Amino acid sequence: MSFELMMLAAATVWGFLQLVAAAQAANAQYGLSWAASPRDGEMPPLRPIPGRINRNFRNYMETFPFFAAAVLVAQAAGVHNELTHWGAIAYIGGRIAYSVLYVSGVPLVRSLFWNVAAFGMLAVLAAPFLPH
């Protein structure tokens, strides 16, 4: 398995952990009867920390498909170089740092790490189109 596919697997695990964290944070606030219900009724907004956990997960789900596509394009093209290697590291590292900062309520700096992840994803995507 290529390094980039291993990073995609790691990003998938990271996403799953965020899904579980968001679900558990909502369950802790709303209770198990809500968790087992069809959730048809309106609920009050999530408190700050559970809300951040939920919004962070939603934000992750906005970028993850693009990272997955970038890795799969590089894989299909047979391109595995420093750009794909470090781009994949930048994506997963940036997303982990972003998550920690977002949930902790740190403004502005978290956006820097969102950009690190975005540039990492773009590096992986660009690699097959550049001369090698």
Domain borders along the chain are 3-129
Q: Where are the alpha helices (DSSP H) in the chain?
A: 3-30, 32-35, 48-77, 82-104, 109-126
- What's the mean pLDDT in 12-36? 96
Question: Is the model's pLDDT at 115 over the cut of 80?
Answer: yes
pLDDT confidence band for 132 (50 / 70 / 90): confident
| pLDDT > 90: percent of the chain | 97
Contact by Cβ (8 Å): 124, 67: yes
- Integer Cα distance of 112 and 98 in angstroms: 8
Burial 90-106 (b: 16+ CB within 10 A, else e): bbbbbbbbbbebbbeee
Q: pLDDT tens for residues 54-110?
A: 999 999 999 999 999 999 999 999 999 999 999 999 999 999 999 999 999 999 999
Contact by Cβ (8 Å): 111, 29: no
Domain 3-129 grouped into CATH 1.20.120.550: yes
